[in-house]
Structure 1
């Protein structure tokens, strides 16, 4: 008998037992201590669980540890929720906690035996891990300042809630060809990056002031590296039924024969956009209005840092930069103390691994911001710190070749020290492997984990990618320029790049780096 391909194995596993049904096995494994069946390990993703790298694990420790991803619907964490995730981090995750580019929170060192109690704790504050991973609709991303931003086009919180409710734990959508990502945007800055979502809805105003949503489909990175196609407009009430219709088409017709060709964008490429829209339209009871050219904010300016007056009377929001999403138990506890000190109640995380405190009292907001700075949460980040992202990296990810979070932290501090007056926003992404988890293809400087030779020996390092950004149909993906370096040479290599730019005649770093890529 021929050996199963990866795709055949995954499809068989999903048919034999729905990923949602592994929950009862999780409790059984936790009670009995029985080793998790290899095929159930795949299904555990449906509850946000991935086996983690043994890189930091003691040689005599045979425990099977997991990364656990918690969905933060709307990207939100309330004060009671902060207290619970801090407790989980301290008791069960060795103090780990990181925000992700999908507005989720991740823990490491999670043991199966602890999952029943972790799930119970999460449930007490309305959090869960269902569909945080796996071949399912993932967390719906959106602008973190929905409803409190004076410049927003529309408050889309209700639509985000309805979409999450429609898809979360829904068996109709528990076996998709691969992961599936939806975004909804009411923000004037397009901050949820619609260009790389499988399906997205961008609020826009008609000439008579009514809100409609621009629909885009088929975006993605890694094996599905393509900019989403704008296919037209729908009314707010049509967003959820349209999202369901697209998902059903993807479920029934997605390309399941190869895992690296199984995203919605691959189906659109296979069918052609015209056929896809035709099939979609035939399944609807309403018409999608004709598409038209749209203008979008450049991705390096899609941010909400600093202090801003909220729509809530007497309240302000504070946009803050973190170290590539890393928060840890100490950071969580610092936030809890400051929330209690200033009577704040909630934060939201962003798709760039940062956070926004939603309801700081305006009469104390400057003191609040100063206290945040004291605990290394930055309301006014440098041009290097503001948009630096990093994936999980070799410490915990089985796919990674290089370390990331620490590299990103040291790089930012190095550049801040070397170029304290640098006046231009630069976007940076540090990735441990080619899977694009920290979006290296859409930033000025993308570091992609790889093996390089140093002094004749293979060592962990990075390949340099440059010149990526998002701006609707003007978007560009990064380009390779043939430069690789070892992990320990990252700081000096990027410093040299910026020094070259500073003495050049170029008026922007992007223009300089694109020209360098063409040389």
Structure 2
């Protein structure tokens, strides 16, 4: 496979030369590079590169290579995405072949990280170790990823397909908003999956339908191929905005689509069995460098352990979550994680919440692990909390974006960094997700509090704004539109209202359902009217911007063409 990957990189390198010489037009070249996860930015001659990380699993050697790439070809850091991938920005086109060869040397690729194909198969990062785990679905996710990578059946789909697998009822992988979602299940003494189809986010989010209540594990790969084949036949190739699988389900209905899938299943040819059902792929690794030096159990350690550490179902082990602000991790931090993973015999995985979890931490090593992480600013006690918002790249790089989502995330973290939120277990578990446009790359529809970017005309000018959504059950509902600069205040006001009026043991979503949108809107009403320019000129700048807001640099992002 490595030889094939290197041949593909040689072909891409030749394509780059042909594009530079004019032999290939932009229209001809674009699909060839997007297939390799190389997307144009709003900045001319700068590109985003997306690295596939199957199931989010990374080795120390891969972490070191990712660090080298961040320093050599990007800006000294990378971002973890909501699909467990790694992204770099501001990469030069001429650097792509060397970058891809470095990845290939550690068994990583960007192949099919973009384009109308089956994207990276995501996996519950706690699969097999969560206390409620049914079984470890990592081998099944790995089998699906291996089956569809370079598979002719999925190379020219009407639109992309996203697949997610979850190993416990908590659904850490959000399978219900994927084109194909598989939830671990057991029937008698047989392992298998509850199979979902037709979920998705975007401007028109849709919850998935249950295609099959139980699919034996050996049927998962062929049945998923049958779904892809049915989508190949029925997807809308004329209207790109209506081309995803969720629109096929809405148009045909579940029963008709199920019949098509069963027809296609009979046509699926026999394929090599990529699923190792004899054993789980992961188990604790032996310590190779001796026992870590003991460390003090400080107040900071206790707070970190309370928020970021989860006991595994395997006695004596735990999962430690590393919070990455808006998914950002520096080259130095990547190297530090590689060293820490080796020293403590850990198995890192990226998550769809743009963080990294460290599996198989020995409980007696947790104080030393905290100290090691803290030395590199990787021990913030905020993972998957109110102070850990998810955010898409936004207008800093994305041509489709309206606002700078990651800048808002940083502003939100800065304004909410107060100890009482971390001490209040229910309040800190409120999840905030930010998208810079309606496309929902930041997964805002499924957040407790979601925000997506827009623009307002006010006082004869354009003003950056956000649509603020509150989720009481399933997908968020629009609460209000407000200036971007006031979004952190609005989030704070909603959290404070929740803390002051909630019932005992009441979480945020039941609270929002009980009090209703009208009362919540009244809480933030003073923040909604846009100010006059002379009163507050900063309101007409996006977060971290130095010039007045406009849409002049916005275009059609390559994910939409």
Category of TM-score, reference length = shorter chain: 0.7 to 0.9
The DSSP-based 3-state class of the residue aligned with 1:353 is: coil
Q: Distance in 2 between matches of 1:501 and 1:148?
A: 33
Look up the match of 1:461: 465
Q: Determine if the alignment matches structure 1 residue 430 to structure 2 residue 434.
A: yes
Q: Distance in 2 between matches of 1:249 and 1:22?
A: 31
Look up the match of 1:517: 517
Q: Distance in 2 between matches of 1:382 and 1:422?
A: 14
Q: Distance in 2 between matches of 1:407 and 1:503?
A: 25
Q: Distance in 1 between matches of 2:218 and 2:74?
A: 41
Look up the match of 1:137: 118
Q: Distance in 2 between matches of 1:159 and 1:502?
A: 42
Deviates more, 1:396-405 or 1:77-86: 396-405
Alignment of 1:255-334 (within 5 A): 255-285=236-266, 305-309=308-312, 311=314, 316-334=318-336
Which of 462, 475, 478 aligns to 2:476? It is 478
Contact 2:128/2:134, CA 8 A, preserved across alignment: no
Look up the match of 2:376: 375
Look up the match of 1:94: 75
The DSSP-based 3-state class of the residue aligned with 2:265 is: coil
Contact 1:72/1:127, CA 8 A, preserved across alignment: yes
Look up the match of 1:248: 229
Look up the match of 1:409: 410
The DSSP-based 3-state class of the residue aligned with 1:274 is: helix
Change (3 A) 1:46 1:315: same
Q: Describe the superposition over 1:172-199 as per-residue Cα deviations: whole angstroms up to 9, x where unpaired.
A: 2100011101112223421111110101
Look up the match of 1:53: 42
The DSSP-based 3-state class of the residue aligned with 2:367 is: helix
Q: How far is 1:465 from its partner?
A: 1.2
Change (3 A) 1:258 1:330: same
The DSSP-based 3-state class of the residue aligned with 2:321 is: strand
Contact 1:444/1:466, CA 8 A, preserved across alignment: yes
Q: Distance in 2 between matches of 1:30 and 1:389?
A: 37
Q: How far is 1:455 from its partner?
A: 5.3
Q: How far is 1:484 from its partner?
A: 1.3
Q: How far is 1:498 from its partner?
A: 2.3
The DSSP-based 3-state class of the residue aligned with 2:144 is: helix
Look up the match of 2:201: 221
Contact 1:383/1:423, CA 8 A, preserved across alignment: no
Change (3 A) 1:32 1:452: closer
Q: Distance in 2 between matches of 1:497 and 1:22?
A: 50
Contact 1:215/1:234, CA 8 A, preserved across alignment: yes
Change (3 A) 1:203 1:310: closer
The DSSP-based 3-state class of the residue aligned with 2:425 is: coil
Runs of 4+ in 1 over 6 A off after TM superposition: 20-23
Q: TM-score, normalised by structure 2?
A: 0.77
Change (3 A) 1:111 1:386: same
The DSSP-based 3-state class of the residue aligned with 1:101 is: coil
Alignment of 1:78-157 (within 5 A): 78-149=59-130, 151-157=132-138
Q: Distance in 2 between matches of 1:79 and 1:310?
A: 24
Q: Distance in 1 between matches of 2:12 and 2:121?
A: 27
Q: Describe the superposition over 1:77-116 as per-residue Cα deviations: whole angstroms up to 9, x where unpaired.
A: 1000000010000000111300111110000111111111
Contact 1:390/1:431, CA 8 A, preserved across alignment: yes
Q: Determine if the alignment matches structure 1 residue 161 to structure 2 residue 142.
A: yes
Q: How far is 1:476 from its partner?
A: 1.9
Q: Determine if the alignment matches structure 1 residue 37 to structure 2 residue 38.
A: no
Look up the match of 1:27: 14
Alignment of 1:499-514 (within 5 A): 499-504=496-501, 507-514=506-513
Q: Determine if the alignment matches structure 1 residue 211 to structure 2 residue 196.
A: no
Q: How far is 1:435 from its partner?
A: 0.7
Unaligned 5+ segments in structure 2 are 1-6, 268-305, 520-561
Q: Distance in 2 between matches of 1:88 and 1:426?
A: 34
Deviates more, 1:29-38 or 1:316-325: 29-38
Q: Distance in 2 between matches of 1:31 and 1:277?
A: 44
Q: TM-score, normalised by structure 1?
A: 0.83
Deviates more, 1:250-259 or 1:186-195: 186-195
Q: Distance in 1 between matches of 2:150 and 2:180?
A: 19
Change (3 A) 1:21 1:360: closer
Q: How far is 1:285 from its partner?
A: 4.8
Which of 470, 486, 489 aligns to 2:486? It is 489
Q: How far is 1:37 from its partner?
A: 2.8
Q: Describe the superposition over 1:209-250 as per-residue Cα deviations: whole angstroms up to 9, x where unpaired.
A: 432210110000114511000122110000000000000010
Contact 1:318/1:369, CA 8 A, preserved across alignment: no
Q: Distance in 2 between matches of 1:32 and 1:268?
A: 39
Contact 1:89/1:95, CA 8 A, preserved across alignment: yes
Contact 2:226/2:262, CA 8 A, preserved across alignment: no
Q: How far is 1:314 from its partner?
A: 6.8
Contact 1:197/1:218, CA 8 A, preserved across alignment: yes
Change (3 A) 1:456 1:497: farther
Contact 1:196/1:221, CA 8 A, preserved across alignment: yes
